[in-house]
A and B are shown apart, each in its own frame.
Chain A
Amino acid sequence: MTTSILLKVDQRAKRVISVLYRILIVVYGFMLFYLFQERNELFEYLLVSLVYFVVFLIAHGKEGFFSYFRLITDYLFIFFIVRKIPIDNFYVSVLIFLPILNSSNHTSRKRSSLLYLIPILYLSIYRKFSLFIIIPYVLFFIINMFGVIRFMYISFNEHLNSLIDNFLISPESVEKPHKIYEKAIDVFNQSSLIFFEVDKIMCFKIKNENIIPVNASLFIWNFTVDDDLISQIVNSPKESYFAFHSNLIINGISFPKNYLLTYRIADTIYCYFILPRKQNFIFDNELMPYFNELVAPFFSRTSKIFEAYSERKRLGIEAIVEMESKISYVQNAKSSMHFIRNKLGPLSNYLAMITDYEQSDSKANKSALKAIIDAERSKLSTSVDEILKRAHYILDRSNNPFLVNKLSDHSIKKLYSEVKRVWESYFNVFVPSLNWNVTRDDYVIKFNTIGLDFVLVNWINNMKKYGGGKQFVTLDEDSQFIILDFSNSIKDLIGATDAVHAFQSNDRIEILQRNTHGIVEIIDFLNQMNISYNAHIESNKLHLILKFIKHHNK
């Protein structure tokens, strides 16, 4: 199990406190020695103190046996100090209880009962029980118990938080989010705070009064949850609702003993059913007053994560739907080309026939040939009509899902962020030469976010793939324009020259015939967004300059 940062910091602090605590024992011991003991035993005292401290340093920070060893050494040293002092003395009782007082700072994960047994044993031997001893002993014990519970609660939640954090960066978090329950169940079952063993966890969500399974530690084929329960959850005014032993049937099996807790996120309510591993008196009799508070942070976080996944899925589906219209447009364009090719068949056949007919000397079958040519011409005129109709459809802008001519007003901060975002996904560092007057906000620029993203991604990708390894971006402005100047060193001069030529050429067909790495589309999108552009080679660098018109900010 990975330890969280909080627990690590806590552990380090405890180690420092541990050293200070031993110094305190030695100093306090010296004070008692000074008050109650013979001066001629000073050397003996100093020697034992030195041995005690060296032994402590050897065992410092180690777990298991060494934690017991430290505790026993502490008591032995304390008993050495107080051996000749009346035990019902106030100072002595404070020193004897010092380990108990300090126990909340113990560096070991578990606390030993020796902590309480050793002083009791010591006092029994001396048969010196007094209120001085009993009252602080009982109170220390109670205070420590609360401290232990508090620490267990923090530690439990920190383990669950670490579990979620580690799970989120694991590959299975998206594909198999239900796997988190296996790990969580382990943490639940290892904790002394939960007085029953968790067997299964199931998550459902209620939206528009419909309940659907989200995920679970078992596969849910079918389920039944009472409508009344759903109605109670939906109508509960509380953010979080819990209930015992709801009617729950999963995959045809009834689970009468269960614990339900819910979390509301906007209009969605996440419901978790927790099932015990076996009959448990505490669980069965609903004796778990703080259970909801104990597990609430964990399930609250998982609800938010699942909701985020759900939203991401929804956006993914929207993207697919949007993509579908583009795919169908491309497919349509492809099938249109087939259609046009087929329809142009009669034209080439007709022209070939005409040429051949005119060259033919044979008078005998000229009339028969003429009839065939006429038939082909008639077919041709129908074909031409159909070709034109199809061409109109393809060229009709309203059918084109790739249009980015709907422009919005944006600040230069937005433009800066867009360029930075795309740049940093290709190159590590975004250090533009910034010559913008960033304090002015009296003008805006217009672009389509998707269109600009397309242009930036394509061009910066080209810079990365085909550039010479050095790239720059200058953010400039003049009285009319906000200017982006992308430049890169040149690896392939012919390729760079071709790119410049593509930007300068007006002949779309000629550009299309060459591999220009998306420049046709970049030009098309820039034109749609009224962003003027210029590409050129200067000082052995390929520049692409984009100019955004400044508009008065109303």
Chain B
Amino acid sequence: MKILIFENEFFKVENAFNYVNERYFNGNLEFTILPKSQDLVNLSDMSKYDYIFLDISLAKKSDLDGFGILKKIEEENISIKKLTILTGNGDIKNKLRELGLKDYPVLLKPVVFSQLYDNLKSLS
């Protein structure tokens, strides 16, 4: 199963992802980690992934931040299977509302593997 992770500090959550992968998916999760939006040349390729984790604050050199990517998804009607926002901002739902974006599930950082698994278990 292919998991796309937009995250510029993946090392902070890496162990949680690896643990969930080994513990519940027998290492079958295939992670693609992208620190910048432009690392995915064609954003419509997001539809090829089974699950997307999207950090809001991406690398400084990223063309788009997490909100920008969400906007593209909605404006270009990119078909995605599942998406969870990864953030340390507890007020993110209000921010989404302010920007006129849809409501997405949120996984607050720092991430504990069990919370991560709660999001992913639909894939198992």
Contact = CB atoms under 8 A, between A and B. Distances in A.
Interface of A: 338, 341-342, 344-346, 348-349, 352-353, 356, 360, 362, 365, 368-369, 372-373, 375-376, 379
Interface in B1-59: 12, 15-16, 18-19, 22-23, 26-27
B122 to A, nearest CB: 19
Contacts of B23: 356, 360, 362, 365, 369
Given A345-B12, A365-B26, A369-B23, A352 B109 contact: no
B68 interface: no
Given A346-B110, A356-B114, 9 more contacts: A345-B12, A345-B110, A345-B111, A353-B15, A353-B113, A369-B19, A369-B22, A372-B18, A379-B15
Contacts of B111: 345, 349
A365 B22 contact: yes
Contacts of A349: 15-16, 110-113
A246 B12 CA distance: 72
8 contacts: A349-B15, A353-B15, A356-B113, A360-B23, A372-B18, A376-B15, A376-B19, A379-B15
Contacts of A373: 19
A372 B88 contact: no
Contacts of B15: 346, 349, 353, 372, 375-376, 379
Interface of B: 12, 15-16, 18-19, 22-23, 26-27, 88, 109-114
Contacts of A356: 23, 113-114
A38 to B, nearest CB: 106
A362 B27 CA distance: 14
Nearest to A342: B110
Contact of A348 (B22, B27, B88, B112): B112
B16 A342 contact: no
Nearest to A378: B15
A368 B22 contact: yes
A352 B114 contact: yes
Contacts of B109: 342, 345
A382 to B, nearest CB: 12
A342 B88 contact: yes
Nearest to A348: B112
Contacts of B16: 349
B112 A352 contact: yes
Nearest 3 A-B pairs (CB), nearest first? A345-B110, A376-B15, A368-B22
A338 B111 CA distance: 14
Given A338-B88, A368-B27, A348 B110 contact: yes
Contacts of A346: 15, 110
B57 to A, nearest CB: 13
Nearest to B15: A376
A365 B111 CA distance: 22
Contact of B19 (A344, A345, A372, A379): A372
Given A342-B88, A345-B12, A353 B110 contact: no
A529 B43 CA distance: 63
Contacts of A344: 110
Contacts of B27: 365, 368
B27 to A, nearest CB: 7
Contact of A372 (B12, B22, B26, B114): B22
Contacts of A345: 12, 109-112
Contacts of B114: 352, 356
A338 B109 CA distance: 11
A376 B12 CA distance: 10
Chain B CB within 10 A, most for which of A344, A362, A368, A375: A368
Contacts of B113: 349, 352-353, 356
A353 B22 contact: no
Contacts of A379: 15
A338 B89 CA distance: 10
Nearest to A369: B22
Contacts of B22: 365, 368-369, 372
A379 B16 CA distance: 12
Contacts of A369: 19, 22-23
A8 to B, nearest CB: 62
